[in-house]
Amino acid sequence: MSLKIEQVHKYFVGEVSGIDLSDPLSKSEVIQIEEGMDQFGVLIFREQFLSDEEQVSYTKNFGELELHVGSNVLKGNERRLSLEFADVSNLDQDGEILKKGDRRRMFNLGNRLWHTDSSFRNIPSKFSILSCRSSPKNGGNTEFSFMPAVYDELDEGTKQEIADLITEHSLIYSRGQLGFSDFNEEEKQMFKPVQHVMVRINEFTKRKSIYLSSHIGKILGWEIPEGRDFIRELMEFATQRHFVYAHEWKPGDLVMWDNRQCMHRVRPFKDTGEKRDMRRTTVAGTAPTLVSAT
Ligand code: OGA
Ligand code: MN
């Protein structure tokens, strides 16, 4: 078997064939996938029925695992999966569907806003690896938008305006957009805002991209409403349909994306009626985006 990547969207997204991710990878396969991520931003693998252990081993090929602490309102006994996983399902610790008013469900609804994973951390994540164990009949697609293509299409004035901007990101800002604001003191501490640059460069392709996320609540040095209005404009621009790929999930699909170059969101589905079991592992980033934050 030899690994092949075929581009499936005008700007990005590669579909990968010729590899079984439950087997250990060769060095050259790891390099091909890393380069594929740089070039395509999102890679799709089909019919990969991995165990949790196999998913964790696969993830470690690309760097350190990001542990899922400080990213949710789960209490210790409410976890269905180990700390190596972000549980982006609609299930509780016993595998039952979360009830309509459950606080965990309310918090998770934030994934329906366009975002990049862990941009609320000082060192944001590199890759996310999402495995579909079961999916609803309708809805629940995950959509992706490719930020280097978005950056290229910005007008010159906007490129100049954003060149040196620094933004503040927090889970409190993204959840606040949905009216979720009852954070306790411990959560407020845990979700304290962090700062990031707005323009990032991919070291391999040398392409610039715009680093956006619904976690942004402030542009440094700007009045809050003015900053939020500008971010809203940029988000609208960045998520025009021609930039977007929508993934329709089947059990066994594994999709990995580069959080340094993509935004994503999950689309609605009947989440109080059907199980959607999705398990994410995350490759940690290696440095803050702001040099002054090192
Ligand atoms: C994620 C996420 C989207 C989904 O895993 O980071 O936002 O489709 N999930 O569940
Ligand atoms: Mn996400």
Is the residue at 106 inside a domain? Answer: yes
Is the residue at 289 inside a domain? Answer: no
Atom index in ligand 1 nearest the CA of residue 140 equals 8
Q: What pLDDT, in 10s, does the model give residues 168-216?
A: 999 999 999 999 999 999 999 999 999 999 999 999 999 999 999 999 9
Q: Give φ, ψ of 199 to 5 degrees.
A: -115, 125
Tokens of 121: 């951390």
**What is the CATH classification number for the domain harbouring 255?**
3.60.130.10
Is the residue at 67 inside a domain? Answer: yes
Is the residue at 125 inside a domain? Answer: yes
Protein residues with CB under 6 Å of any ligand 1 atom: 86, 88, 111, 117, 128, 130, 142, 264, 266, 278, 280
Q: What pLDDT, in 10s, does the model give residues 217-250?
A: 999 999 999 999 999 999 999 999 999 999 999 9
**Residue 1: predicted pLDDT:** 72
Residue 43: helix, strand or coil by DSSP?
Answer: strand
pLDDT along the chain (294 residues), means of 10: 95 98 97 98 98 98 96 89 96 96 95 98 98 96 98 98 98 97 94 98 96 98 98 98 98 98 97 96 97 66
**Residue 75: predicted pLDDT:** 86
**Residue 145: predicted pLDDT:** 98
Question: How many Å lie between the centroid of ligand 2 and the Cα of residue 86?
Answer: 9
Residue 188, domain extent: 4-281
Neighbours of ion ligand 2 (CB under 5 A): 117
Is the residue at 291 inside a domain? Answer: no
Q: Give φ, ψ of 56 to 5 degrees.
A: -65, -45
Record the pTM.
Answer: 0.97
Ligand nearest to the CA of 143: 1
Question: How many Å lie between the centroid of ligand 2 and the Cα of residue 48?
Answer: 20
**Residue 294: predicted pLDDT:** 55
Is the residue at 158 inside a domain? Answer: yes
Give the C-alpha separation, 223 to 231, whole Å: 12
Give the C-alpha separation, 79 to 90, whole Å: 12
**Residue 90: predicted pLDDT:** 97
State how many domains the chain has.
Answer: 1
Is the residue at 185 inside a domain? Answer: yes
Is the residue at 288 inside a domain? Answer: no
**Residue 76: predicted pLDDT:** 79
**Residue 270: predicted pLDDT:** 93
